[in-house]
Structure 1
Amino acid sequence: MKKYISLILISGFLLFFQSCSSQTKLDSKTVDALVNSKEFTFHAERANPTNYDVINIMNSMPNSTATRILQLDGNYTVELRNNQLEVVLPYFGRLFNPSLGNTDKNSYRFTSKDFAVDQSQNKKGTWIVKIRPNDVSNVSDIIIEVYKNGRAFTSIRSNDRQPISYDGYVSQNENTEKP
């Protein structure tokens, strides 16, 4: 009986570590080409709020874990093109100037046509893309850190709310040309 229990525990650990391992979405040359072209899409998979009120509420819910990570459904993106930046991301945290009537202004949902992109690469091959939209009043900086395997970490700094970060991956932009 002890052999079966130890066998089950070992197989459980192996399955756990296999699911936790980093899964490569893209190779490093493709990631370099995407970032150099300044045309890619960041897909958010998890949101990491920094506000302790949100974290305390999440931890007080039944059957919750003691982490401050919120799983997202994959429909939240930052799409960077040569002439347009489109951001659709949720926000969890404290707003200093909330809009009561229009809830779209409480999350990050905007399209910018006037923005500056600065990119650099460190010695380990990680890209840091800094985007500064000039025609959006509440967002001062979007920083996307793109790793060699295509995984990415995005943080947004605003003028009217606390910062938040997102984990996810980058991919090539989809063609949305109308026939």
Structure 2
Amino acid sequence: MKKFINIISVCILTLIFYSCSAQNTTDSQTLNSLVTSEEFTFHAERANPMNYDVINTLNSIPNNPSTRILQLDAGSYTIELRKGKMEVVLPYFGRAFTSTYGRDNSYRFTSKDYTITKSQSKKGNWVFKIKPNDVNNVSDINIEVYKNGKAFTSIRSNDRQPITYDGYISKNEEIKEKKID
């Protein structure tokens, strides 16, 4: 019986260590090239509203925990940085101070006039402070890129409460030009 317990313990520990090592990470060389070029795509995996009223409202929905609602579809919500162009498609959960007409409640815009300030923290993480000049309601976007490729993004707006997103960065997809025959 003692042998059996030892074998089970070793198997469980092996599975735990294997799951810890199987996390998504980007190798440091690829990460450094993405950061230095300032051309990458942030993929949001989770939205974190700053207002607990929103979280309490989501928790009040029967048979539906708020954690599942705030988990975002992989690849659907992104911030894409290219030379001279930033494209943002992110959902918004929170309180808006001014009303919007229609269904334009999320962050969906393309900016061609923006400034990027890049710095490195003491821990080796890269911090991008982006200020779009041609978008009225967004005052700044902060993206912190960790050494393993994971990223944390916060968006401050003039007419809404702040919101943060957890996710990762990757290389931009190539844009294929259509040929006209």
**TM-score band, normalised by the shorter chain?**
0.7 to 0.9
- Structure-2 separation of matches of 1:58 and 1:105: 20
Partner residue, 2:50: 50
What runs of 5+ residues in structure 1 fail to find an aligned partner?
Answer: none
- Structure-1 separation of matches of 2:60 and 2:9: 30
Amino acid at match of 2:142: I
Amino acid at match of 2:121: N
Moved over 3 A (4+): 7-22, 62-69
- Structure-1 separation of matches of 2:80 and 2:29: 20
Partner residue, 1:146: 145
| Shift, 1:15, TM fit | 5.4
- Structure-1 separation of matches of 2:65 and 2:100: 31
Amino acid at match of 1:35: V
Report the TM-score when normalising by structure 2: 0.84
* 1:110 equivalenced with 2:102 (yes/no): no
CA contact (8 A) 1:143 1:156 kept: yes
- Structure-2 separation of matches of 1:163 and 1:24: 27
Partner residue, 2:71: 71
Residues 90, 82 of structure 1: CA spacing in aligned structure 2 closer, same or farther, 3 A cutoff?
Answer: same
* Greater C-alpha radius of gyration: 2
Partner residue, 1:29: 29
- Judge which range, 56-65 or 44-53, deviates more: 56-65
Give the 3-state SS of the residue equivalent to 2:104 in structure 1.
helix
Q: Percent identity between the aligned chains?
A: 64
CA contact (8 A) 1:116 1:133 kept: yes
- Structure-2 separation of matches of 1:58 and 1:32: 38
Partner residue, 2:60: 60
| Shift, 1:97, TM fit | 1.3
| Shift, 1:60, TM fit | 2.0
Report the TM-score when normalising by structure 1: 0.84
| Shift, 1:63, TM fit | 3.9
Partner residue, 2:159: 160
What runs of 5+ residues in structure 2 fail to find an aligned partner?
Answer: none
- Structure-2 separation of matches of 1:141 and 1:38: 17
- Structure-2 separation of matches of 1:97 and 1:85: 25
- Structure-1 separation of matches of 2:99 and 2:139: 17
Residues 131, 22 of structure 1: CA spacing in aligned structure 2 closer, same or farther, 3 A cutoff?
Answer: farther
| Shift, 1:50, TM fit | 1.1
CA contact (8 A) 1:48 1:68 kept: no
Partner residue, 1:130: 129
